[in-house]
A and B are shown apart, each in its own frame.
Chain A
Amino acid sequence: MESKLLWMIIGMGVVTYLPRMLPFVLFRGRELPPFVQGVLKNVPYATLGALIFPGILLIKNQDVWFGVIGAAASFILALLGANVIFVVLGAIGILSVYSYFF
């Protein structure tokens, strides 16, 4: 392996690992103030909102409809109470049909 790339991969690994690991080791018990704990409990849902939108509309640069249909399909399947894996497979299936015709 080229040594420049080796160092790059090691460096990337370290700076990716540290932020993932430090909170688990630094905050041992549950000694954080209640307000901070409350904020941290909100984080998963806020993260999901930020991860989904606007990214889902931009999955195919040239075609907004691709994203809109993908988003609508996922939301409808999830609202109907489908398991996550079926939401994923269903959205892929619907978009495959869409890209077959357009």
Chain B
Amino acid sequence: MELSRERIYVSDFRQGLQGGVSIGVGYLPIALTFGLLAKTTGLSLMETVSMSVFVFAGASQYISLSLIAVGASVFEIILTTFIVNIRHLLMSASLNEKVEPASAWTKSIYAFGITDETFSVAATREGTVKTGYIYGVIVLAYGSWVINSGIGYLIGASLPHSLQESMTVALYAMFVGLLVPSLKKSRKVMFLAVLAAAFHSILEFFSWLSAGWAIVCSTLLSSIIVEGIEYLRKKGGMGHGK
């Protein structure tokens, strides 16, 4: 009994590793570039890799480098990091509705690995998300992030420029690859994505909000509006459509 449970866990983990491969590929150029930029900003190899080890958040690591370069205070940098990463609050709350029951300990360990990408891969999976699966996705994503930050620091500049440039599309392509299959199945998914994209474009165009809040607001607005419409339609007894 114990043994078979263990075996199921291992196969979930392996599936998670497979799910994480596209993230690993996507992180490659970003982590390499981070390593390279960290070096030009004057960080040591140890500091560069430590930041990837302890923070594991692409956008805010980049921003911290530009803030270090302009001589911002530690407090300003930490506050900016918080604002940029506040969106993960929403993602964790959403994923918590979908994961299999697990102890608070287990959840607080894998919570460390929630990024836009690991969240997207786990959250678009059908049915309940297994703990082993999440660990698999995160181990691969985190490994790619940390190792490639170090490699970037050491060799970053020697990768052909055109390839580095083309690889910047990787994470976006992954998001598209995750969204489209659900898009084809449900009109609701299409409304959600298009509405959020529209809100985000408006917020970005007028730059009313910082990047972190802009994603939180557009995601929340779209999710609440679509849910509200569905609720009203059900209440009105006009049960057409899905």
Seen from chain A, the residues whose Cβ lies within 8 Å of a Cβ on chain B are 1-2, 4-5, 7-13, 15-17, 19-25, 27-28, 30, 32, 35, 37-56, 59-60, 66, 70-71, 73-75, 77-79, 81-85, 87-93, 95-96, 98-100
Asked if B10 is at the interface of the complex by the 8 Å CB criterion, the answer is no
Tell me, in angstroms, the Cα distance from A21 to B188 when the chains sit together: 29
Interface core residue of A5, A16, A71 (most chain B CB under 10 Å): A16
Q: Which of B81, B95, B196 contacts A50 (CB 8 A)?
A: B196
**How many angstroms between the C-alpha atoms of A44 and B218 in the bound complex?**
12
Return chain A residues, CB-CB under 8 Å to B74.
Answer: 4, 7-8, 11
Known contacts A19-B88, A75-B180, A84-B174; decide if A44 and B93 are in contact (CB<8 Å).
Answer: no
Can you list 18 contacts pairing A with B, beta carbon distance less than 8 Å?
A1-B50, A15-B81, A20-B85, A40-B97, A42-B222, A43-B93, A44-B94, A44-B120, A45-B196, A47-B123, A49-B192, A51-B172, A52-B175, A55-B172, A78-B177, A82-B177, A87-B176, A93-B166
Compute how far the CA of A19 lies from the CA of B91 in the bound complex, rounded to whole angstroms.
9
Name the distance in Å between A50's Cβ and chain B's nearest Cβ.
Answer: 4
Mostly, the A contact residues are: helix
Among A21, A55, A88, point to the contact of B174 (Cβ < 8 A).
A88
A35 touches B227 (CB 8 A): yes
Chain B residues whose C-beta falls within 8 Å of the C-beta of A25 in the assembled complex: 104, 107-108, 111
A-B contact count (CB 8 A): 280
- Output the nearest chain A residue to B124 by Cβ-Cβ distance: A44
CA distance A42 to B182 in the complex (A): 12
- Inter-chain CA distance A90–B114, complex, in Å, is 26
Q: Given the complex, which residues of B lie within 8 Å of A38, measured CB to CB?
A: 227, 230-231
Tell whether, in the assembled complex, residue B92 and residue A100 are in contact, meaning their CB atoms are under 8 Å apart. Answer: no
Q: Point out the residue from A15, A16, A32, A70 that lies within 8 Å of B169, measured CB to CB.
A: A70
Whether A23 contacts B89 by the Cβ 8 Å rule is yes
Contact assessment for B227 and A88 in the assembled complex, using a CB-CB cutoff below 8 Å: no
Q: Is the pair B200, A49 in contact by a Cβ cutoff of 8 Å?
A: yes
B108 and A21 form a contact (CB under 8 A): yes
The residue on B at minimum CB distance from A47 is: B219
Asked if A47 contacts B215 (CB within 8 A), the reply is yes
CB contacts (< 8 Å) of B227 on chain A: these are: 35, 38-39, 42
- A42 CB contacts on chain B under 8 angstroms: 188, 192, 222-223, 226-227
Other A-B pairs beyond A20-B91, A56-B172, A70-B169, 4, CB < 8 Å? A16-B81, A88-B25, A92-B170, A99-B162
- Rounded to whole Å, the gap between the CB of A7 and the closest CB of chain B is 6
- Contact residue among B111, B120, B169 (Cβ-Cβ distance under 8 Å from A20): B111
Closest beta carbon of chain B to A5's beta carbon, Å: 5
